[in-house]
Structure 1
Amino acid sequence: MSVGIRAALSVLAVGFTGYLAVGALLWTTPPANPMVQLVAVACYLVTTWLCIFWKAQRTARADPITGELGRGALLPAWAAVLALAAAVLVPNASWVAAGPEARSLDFATWSLGAIGALMAIVMVRGRPWVAWTGVVILAVEATAWIGPAAALALGVVGAVLWVAIAQLLTWLVDRAASDTAALTELQRAASEWLATQEGTRRERRTQVQRALALAGPVLTRTIEQQGRLDAADKQRARIAEEALRDELRGAALLDDAVRHALGAARDRGAVVSVLDEGGLEGLSIEERARIRAELARVLTGAISERLYVRASRHDEIAVTVVGRSASDDGDDRVDLWHEIARQA
């Protein structure tokens, strides 16, 4: 509900309660105690307008998803108590002011509709128990002063209906707000899923294009030669196959500089294995760029016969590069060990 609609409803409520109050001041025969009647009307108007306007705009409970659709600000406890006090004092004061002979006249029974309207406002402001308590108090007072039949005929039924309708409308608005929030959340989830799928499709297209760029020439050469490849062609096929494996097992570690360094290492005959187990997860774009740049430098300067690049979920180390080469006695030795920290 927009602020403009709420303001219009507030003005409507003020006009309606003012109209009810005017009914208490229109009499052909003056009441027995006119000053008591005037005080009762003033007390009613002050209480009602406080319940309408007190912090209703400034503390409205705007839902982050549905905006202003939900119910307005909760009526403060002291204002709810004041409304109950008005439900007790205003009708009694009106009947006292009217005198024994005029208790069934309009200016004496105006409080039945007036307190019903006040309790409807209290209901809308989120105090249902207070509203129904006020209606019960009103019905008991009217029965005591003018009898049950006259009480039902002159306004108690209307007061009950107003409060019941206010509760129903409030429940419907809250339900609409809840349903709107649920639908909005579903739409958001659907949009996120579609965005994820689009990103996955885009990444898949990129991988396919890169695979074609890597393997396309080799496959074309293989078809042309009918599978009879010389040593150089076999070397190119091996390098292409390893490059494709890098894209599948360690895509997060790769950029143009790293790919170039891996290709250069393989061109000189090194066997390179790249495996990503989530070492770059949770890092910023800047940190990932720093790690890839350092990895490219390490690979460019490596002279090992076999290189192993592994990115693990270690708390401190993001990437480990290990190089092994054959020693003079025929055993493998580690000639490169480099660790790249997760944080600079």
Structure 2
Amino acid sequence: MISVKNVLIVLAVAFSAYLAARGLWWTAPVPQPLVVVTTLGLYLATTWLCIFWEPASVRSAPHPVLADVPAPAHPDDAAPSATDGFRGPVPLPVAAQILALACAVIVPSAISLGVGEASRTAPFATWYLGGIGALMTVVMVRRRPWTAWAGIVMLAIASSVWMGPLNALALGLVGSIVWVTCAQLLVFSMDRAARDTSRLTRLQRAATGWQTSQVVRQRERRVQVQKALAVAGPVLTRTVARNGVLSDSDRLEARIAEGRLRDEMRGPRLLDDEVRAELERARRRGANVTVLDEGGLDDVDDATLAVIRAQLAEALRAASSERLYIRTSPDEHVAVTVVGRSPSVGAPSDEDSVDLWREIPHPGRV
């Protein structure tokens, strides 16, 4: 599979191999060729190890979303960047960092000794300026900025000692510094883009959820309007047809229709056919019934609701109070409270006594 990551890996391998190959293109006698070749092998092994080494534990572990991960206390401990469908470079293991720093110390000195004093500024001897710069660029991309900059400092010191500061700057040290700087800026920009992408993804999901909830609410309102028309439509039709002159039975039907509408709006999760029938029976005998669902049953499944409704219907069936108050309860053990009040014998007409108190428990929470 061709991806940006695979392309960058191929380019890094090819470029490091090209820089090492320059070290074998000798245009003058080399006093210690074995040292030069061994150093080239060390450089290539270290660079390719830094490119490819990804611990199995890191590969198998899920990568967190950058926006959800707290900022690390140390830049070298930065978490790998990952968003939906995006995976950034993972941090370089400590062993590879040590090898990279060792390479930054050993390679300049070994090459300078191997080629001899007369050839230390020749192209086949100065390749390490770009080579170590490329290695530290890889280390930077692998999220180890302190290690990368430490390697650049070691390269600058060693090259200045062996060929002089001006020659080092003129022959490639500046380019290595620029590469590492650009790599750090690139990683920073990539992580920022990943965080922005993650944030936008969450915002998009929130907007989609809000839009879905609005559609559901609109559908619920349409259903409520249809129920209202079904309940109140016949009563309103008779009222208009008789010019508002209603019989006692028509007035009773109007009061029952009003009660049904209030029940459907205030406590829909408390209602089923059996509960509706008991509420209508209580109203027909003259009781004043109030139904309120204040959110206590929002997380209750249908099977549990069926049990609660059956107990509510049973409580209403046995009630004889003139005023009935049915409310959901905020208590975690009580689902619904049914309170009945009736005028006390011998008491003033505006004083009622409680003659019914029924608490319907949550099934399984008692």
CA, structure 1 residues 172+241, in 2 after alignment: closer, same or farther (shift >3 Å)?
same
2:260 corresponds to: 243
SS in 2 for 1:226: coil
SS in 2 for 1:343: coil
String of CA shifts for 1:59-85, please: whole Å, max 9, x gaps.
Answer: 267445723535311112232122111
> Does 1:276 pair with 2:293?
yes
1:87 corresponds to: 104
How far apart are the structure 2 equivalents of 1:85 and 1:286?
68
The TM-score, its normalising length taken from structure 1, stands at 0.91
1:39 corresponds to: 38
Alignment of 1:1-344 (within 5 A): 4-55=3-54, 59=58, 62-64=63-65, 66-325=83-342, 335-344=355-364
The TM-score, its normalising length taken from structure 2, stands at 0.86
CA, structure 1 residues 25+329, in 2 after alignment: closer, same or farther (shift >3 Å)?
same
How far apart are the structure 1 equivalents of 2:44 and 2:208?
50
How far apart are the structure 1 equivalents of 2:260 and 2:173?
85
SS in 1 for 2:125: helix
How far apart are the structure 1 equivalents of 2:305 and 2:5?
51
String of CA shifts for 1:105-132, please: whole Å, max 9, x gaps.
Answer: 1221111111000000000000112112
Following TM superposition, by how much is the alpha carbon of 1:315 offset from its aligned partner in structure 2, in angstroms? 2.5
Read off the aligned partner of 1:100 and give its amino acid letter: E
Following TM superposition, by how much is the alpha carbon of 1:163 offset from its aligned partner in structure 2, in angstroms? 0.9
Unaligned runs of 5+ in 1: none
SS in 1 for 2:152: helix
* Preserved CA contact (<8 Å) 1:62 1:68: no
SS in 2 for 1:104: coil
How far apart are the structure 2 equivalents of 1:3 and 1:69?
15
How far apart are the structure 1 equivalents of 2:13 and 2:29?
26
Read off the aligned partner of 2:359 and give its amino acid letter: E
Unaligned runs of 5+ in 2: 66-81
How far apart are the structure 2 equivalents of 1:333 and 1:152?
98
How far apart are the structure 1 equivalents of 2:359 and 2:172?
85
Q: Percent of counterpart pairs with the same letter? A: 52
String of CA shifts for 1:30-52, please: whole Å, max 9, x gaps.
Answer: 41111111221111112111111
